[in-house]
Amino acid sequence: MFASVLIANRGEIACRIARTARRLKMRIIAVYSDADKDALHVRLADEAYPIGPAPARESYLVIDRLVEVARKASAQCVHPGYGFLSENADFAEACVRAGIVFVGPPPEAIRAMGRKDRAKALIAKAGVPVVPGYHGERQEAAFLKAQAVETGYPVLIKAVAGGGGKGMRRVEKAAEFDAALEGAQREATSSFGDARVLIEKYIETPRHIEMQIFADAQGNTIHLNERDCSLQRRHQKVIEEGPAPGMTAALRAEMGAAAVRAAKAVGYAGAGTVEFIADGASGLRSGAYWFMEMNTRLQVEHPVTEAITGLDLVEWQFRIAAGEKLPLAQSEVPLDGHAVEARIYAEDPARGFLPSTGKLVALEFSTDLRIDTGVEVGGEISPYYDPLIAKMIAHAPTRAEALAKLADGLERTIIAGPRTNVAFLAALCRAEGFRKGKFDTGFIDRNIVVLAPKDIDRAAAARGAAHLAAQDMARIATSLDRAADEPASPWDAADAFQLAGARTLKVPILVDGESAIAEIGYGAGGLAVVVDGAAPALDARVVEAADGVHVVRRGRQTVVRRVDFVAHDFGHADGDGLVTAPMHGKVVAIFVASGDKVAKGQRVAIIEAMKMEHTLTAPCAGNVTEIVVAAGAQVAEGARVMTIEPAEKVD
């Protein structure tokens, strides 16, 4: 076994690898960008080295710098984690040239599977079915558009390099193809440095089934059962589970054998995942699945496999990289119970899952579930990296029990600061269709209105307003030198008074940034607060912050603030003609110029945050009167991008 490891990654996966390395008594070497100098993965290491500025291209993706640090620290091996350089053959080769073991497959295998077009051709020769489409070298826009027509709409445009939904677009008709291709290529270049794409037929009711495989250098290859990753949003996995609902032992053996053939076709060694797309219209069945891609690394959802097998996959990676044989034969692989993993992200489901940034004011998880995280209270969720906060994994004897356990754990989670998808995940776990196993990759989109309601949580808002009102009364009592236990009096208010009956004030507040009114009554029983008819929720946790309170209820966060009449922009309260940045990010494109006429809903700009692109559209028809940012500029959430004079005002 190795004596030391450099973990060429950050966040949750770096912490996860460090946990196994610590148990194996390895010296742990971390790297960090300027944005991560105080990160948890840095403090978990025995030693850590800076590698550059916050942007990944200037730090975590700089091969020479990482290899230099590995040499300097005398690391015997490098573990790439997932993302960043984990599937970069050049990085694997650079490690080997430096005399450092790369904990992963051979560079040749990474190259063979890293290009989706070439991988599909190779896999087809091995007798594994592949999705119909164009997987060739030609990249002219007109040619690709013609291939989409030949394949038949709807189609998927997919980056030939990388994964995780980056550089991927679903296209329903030819009129949408050009803009989708442009976006996919731009995102692929940003994420992987490779703009090339392929075209695939979109399966209408797809199930995403992946087989975890392992191979050693002695030629032995096995699979460790499957995971179902069909619950997706924007082609990114949201909840993963194993075993797959509806999977039979015979079909598992069949798909597992196909995955093993795929791995052997490229001389694979180490951990990998062979991903299949299955037609879920009539349930999982033989002959209705196709090879999609192979990830030549550890997967985000690997804890699902660890839970149902009782194995430590990171330890297996280290042992195979050290030259050891596979610890088990295929017939010895366990399958115990059911496991489900939820990815907790810093994003706002009510606003189209826009990434959210900022300081973690509170962070508490259930102690009876497995939690993999790379952040802690007081840490920052930055706009530079993937917005994953944590992974929550539930394991139980049955699927129903695992889902109930996960939903309960999510609803007891306390996260305040950045917006999160915790309540959305809990709702997903409790969704009837998902619980009954009636789902595919479009399940979230079809049920988004129920899963991610846009209306405010009025009871949580009332709880926050009551807390702020109590703070105000306490502050008044202090200013009047009243004894701490003396009840508040309505005569203390400085705004007006009434001579009889209960005193009621209508106080303007901001709830999740939107204007609202809290009705505050002062009676014999103390404060009585309602917001839009709702009384304060009793099942909520209030977390105080500098500019208000965060009320967390069943995993959902509601931010309640006093109105700052100086800072609040009532002139643009309706958003009429104002285009603002929905989150912190980089402006990658501006499509209009000052003086241009635009239609309502027209694409006017694109902002990139956390490796994902977000399109800004015109809120009304009119003339562009001012553009205050340029392509390449960094913008803060809420910052003005441009102003459009509405058509009715122009006329």
Domain boundaries in the chain? 4-103, 132-201, 207-451, 458-562, 570-650
Residue 185 and residue 114: Cα distance in Å, rounded?
16
Q: Is 401 helix (H, G, I), strand (E, B) or coil?
A: helix
State the average pLDDT over residues 284-310.
95
At residue 336, the pLDDT reads 98
Residue whose entry in the numeric block shows the structure tokens 């839970």: 307
Among this protein's residues, is 118 annotated catalytic?
A: no
Residue 418 and residue 584: Cα distance in Å, rounded?
12
Confidence of residue 566 (pLDDT cuts 50, 70, 90): very low
At residue 569, the pLDDT reads 46
User: Exposed/middle/buried for 490, CB within 10 Å: 0-12, 13-18, 19+?
Assistant: middle
List helix spans (H) across 229-378.
Answer: 249-265, 302-309, 313-321
Q: Do domains 458-562 and 570-650 have the same CATH topology?
A: no
At residue 162, the pLDDT reads 65
Check: CATH 3.30.1490.20 for 132-201? yes
More confident residue, 163 or 618: 618
DSSP 39: -
At residue 589, the pLDDT reads 92
Q: Which of 19-28, 69-78, 110-119 has the lowest mean pLDDT?
A: 110-119
* Catalytic residue chosen out of the listed positions 207, 297, 419, 554: 297
% of residues, the chain, pLDDT over 70: 92
Helix (H) or strand (E) holding 146: helix 141-151
**CB within 8 A of 470, min separation 6: which ones?**
527
% of residues, the chain, pLDDT over 90: 75
pLDDT at 497 over 60: no
pLDDT at 572 over 80: no
Give the alpha-carbon dihedral of 98, 101, 103, 106, to 10 degrees.
80
Nearest to 445 by CA among 67, 170, 636: 170
State the average pLDDT over residues 579-602.
91
Q: Which CATH architecture has domain 4-103?
A: 3-Layer(aba) Sandwich (3.40)
Q: Phi/psi of residue 246, each to 5°? A: 85, 0
**CB within 8 A of 599, min separation 6: which ones?**
618, 621
What token pair was written down for 531? 């917001």
DSSP state string for 79-121: E--SSTTTT-HHHHHHHHHTT-EESSS-HHHHHHHHSHHHHHH
pLDDT digits (tens, 9 = 90+) for 333-355: 999 999 999 999 999 998 889 88
What are the C-alpha distances in Å from 567 to residues 23, 176, 590, 639? 52, 41, 28, 13
What token pair was written down for 369? 């579930």
At residue 251, the pLDDT reads 97
At residue 547, the pLDDT reads 77
Residue 535 and residue 461: Cα distance in Å, rounded?
9
State the average pLDDT over residues 356-377.
96
What token pair was written down for 381? 């969720």
DSSP state string for 115-138: SHHHHHHHHHHTT--B-SEE-SS-
Using CA of residue 537, residue 538, residue 539, residue 545, what is the dihedral sign?
Answer: positive
pLDDT digits (tens, 9 = 90+) for 426-452: 999 999 999 999 999 999 999 999 999
pLDDT digits (tens, 9 = 90+) for 240-257: 999 999 999 999 999 999
Q: Phi/psi of residue 509, each to 5°? A: -135, 170
Domain 458-562 sits in CATH at 3.30.700
At residue 568, the pLDDT reads 45
Top mean-pLDDT range of 233-237, 335-339, 605-609: 335-339
Residue 509 and residue 514: Cα distance in Å, rounded?
8
Q: What's the pTM value of the predicted model, to 2 decimals?
A: 0.83
Chain centroid to CA 196: how far? 24
Residue 635 and residue 612: Cα distance in Å, rounded?
15
Check: CATH 3.40.50.880 for 570-650? no
More confident residue, 608 or 414: 414
Nearest to 313 by CA among 245, 372, 251: 372
**Cβ proximity of 321 and 102 under 8 Å:** yes
pLDDT at 554 over 90: yes
pLDDT digits (tens, 9 = 90+) for 369-403: 999 999 999 999 998 999 999 999 999 999 999 99
At residue 527, the pLDDT reads 84
What token pair was written down for 269? 């060694």
**Cβ proximity of 81 and 313 under 8 Å:** no
Q: Is 348 helix (H, G, I), strand (E, B) or coil?
A: strand
The three-point CA angle 626-184-635 to 5° equals 35
- Plot region of 404 (φ>0 → left; ψ -120 to 50 → alpha; else → beta): alpha
The separation between the first and the last C-alpha atoms of the chain, rounded to the nearest angstrom, is 76
Confidence of residue 577 (pLDDT cuts 50, 70, 90): confident
To the nearest whole number, what is the mean pLDDT of the chain? 91
Q: Is 609 helix (H, G, I), strand (E, B) or coil?
A: strand
At residue 576, the pLDDT reads 67
Confidence of residue 571 (pLDDT cuts 50, 70, 90): very low
Query: Domain 207-451 sits in which CATH superfamily?
Result: ATP-grasp fold, B domain (3.30.470.20)
Q: Phi/psi of residue 425, each to 5°? A: -65, -40
pLDDT at 519 over 50: yes
